[in-house]
């Protein structure tokens, strides 16, 4: 339930779909296991996993969704071995080289034949929509998985007017100023991990851990045309994370003081506990996102189109 990575997207038009409408539209693309001859399938699964029956969970004004993908695993070496045998057989029987078209057809036939026996890999990607904040927050460290989540939601809803947050001044410039000018508010405490990158295509990259980012050594790098592209920090005695220059947030870890707020809920009342955790998490993440975007001159309603 507790998100560990964040890709944050802004609505360009208010999200006005209510809970019942959203549930109904998600059902059009509900997850089902792959058929015998399918390579993959992607759809919406129960938002609360084995503990729920619905494709969304609504709490704290936010909608929790979970996208599930099943992919069949066919090792390339197995396919190649079978293909080589087919090609060799043809060449021996007909005393000629196999054409490109014939090889492609062989490969297609082999894949079709092997799929029913292939292993499956299943992965889930969760995200929440907060209409009041005009944002979608997706729990993944992969930009492509975030885009897949949005594409599935767009398919379900017919349209999805969202965009990435992008400050007018480059994020790396602002992040660099946090170290050079030490101008972050007091609720942001710079951590001991970061990545610096010089300008240019073949630029030097410095990755560091357990390093004081405000040391003279690091500041010297910044004064020689390097910029911050990743930086770790703690926020408001609530969580720690690593921020990248595309404003994605990785390795989010909520502090014990936050988890302890729901510690008195009985462990056997799992749905109540999940609901309380989701409410607590979205409340803290929404505060964090507001605070973070402010440092880049943005708001969660920055991209709403005005009529």
| pLDDT tens, position by position, 192-240 | 999 999 987 778 899 999 999 999 999 998 988 899 999 999 999 999 9
50 and 160 co-located in one domain: yes
Residue 307 in this model has a pLDDT that exceeds 60? no
- Domain assignment of residue 56, yes or no: yes
Q: Are residues 190 and 69 in the same domain?
A: no
Return the CA Rg of the chain: 24
Q: Which domain holds residue 283?
A: 171-294
* Same domain assignment for residues 251 and 188: yes
- In this prediction, residue 108 has a pLDDT band, given cuts at 50, 70 and 90, of confident
183 and 141 in a single domain? The answer is: no
Same domain? For 108 and 143 the reply is no
306 found inside a domain: no
Same domain for 155 and 244, yes or no, is no
- The answer on 127 and 88 residing in a single domain is no
**Same domain flag for 81 and 96:** yes
Is the domain of 153 the same as that of 15?
yes
27 within domain boundaries: yes
Least confident of 29-43, 110-124, 143-157: 110-124
Mean pLDDT, the chain, whole residue set: 92
Residue 300 included in any domain:
no
Q: Is residue 303 part of a domain?
A: no
Same domain? 155 vs 33: yes
Within a domain: 304: no
On whether residue 299 sits in a domain, the answer given is no
- Compute the half-sphere exposure of residue 284: CA atoms within 13 Å on the CB side of its CA: 22
Per-residue pLDDT tens digits for 233-269: 999 999 999 999 999 999 999 999 999 999 888 767 7
Which pTM was predicted? 0.87
Question: Considering its fold, how many domains does the chain have in total?
Answer: 3
Same domain, 28 and 158: yes
Note whether 60 and 203 are same-domain residues. no
């Amino acid at each position: 339930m507790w998100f560990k990575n964040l890709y944050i997207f802004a609505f360009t038009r208010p999200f006005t779909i209510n809970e019942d409408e959203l549930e109904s539209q998600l059902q059009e693309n509900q997850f089902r296991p792959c058929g015998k001859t399918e390579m993959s399938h992607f759809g919406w699964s129960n938002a609360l996993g084995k503990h729920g029956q619905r494709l969304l969970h609504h709490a704290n004004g936010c909608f929790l969704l979970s996208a599930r993908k099943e992919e069949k695993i066919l090792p390339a070496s197995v396919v190649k071995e079978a293909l080589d045998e087919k090609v060799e057989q043809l060449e021996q029987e007909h005393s000629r080289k196999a054409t490109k078209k014939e090889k492609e057809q062989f490969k297609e036939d082999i894949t079709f034949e092997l799929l029913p026996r292939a292993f499956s890999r299943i992965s889930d990607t969760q995200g929440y929509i907060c209409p009041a904040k005009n944002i979608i927050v997706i729990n993944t460290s992969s930009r492509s998985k975030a885009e897949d989540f949005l594409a599935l939601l767009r398919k379900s809803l017919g349209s999805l007017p969202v965009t990435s947050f992008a400050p007018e001044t480059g994020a790396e410039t602002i992040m660099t100023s946090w170290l050079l000018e030490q101008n972050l508010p007091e609720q942001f405490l710079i951590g001991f991990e970061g990545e610096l990158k010089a300008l240019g295509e073949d630029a030097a990259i410095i990755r560091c851990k357990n390093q004081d980012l405000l040391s003279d050594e690091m500041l010297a790098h910044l004064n020689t045309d390097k910029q911050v592209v990743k930086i770790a920090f703690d926020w408001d005695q609530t969580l720690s994370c690593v921020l990248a220059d595309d404003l994605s947030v990785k390795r989010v870890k909520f502090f014990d003081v936050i988890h302890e707020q729901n510690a008195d809920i009985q462990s056997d009342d799992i749905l109540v506990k999940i609901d309380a955790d989701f409410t607590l998490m979205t409340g803290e993440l929404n505060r964090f996102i507001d605070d973070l975007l402010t440092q880049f001159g943005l708001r969660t309603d920055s991209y709403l189109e005005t009529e």
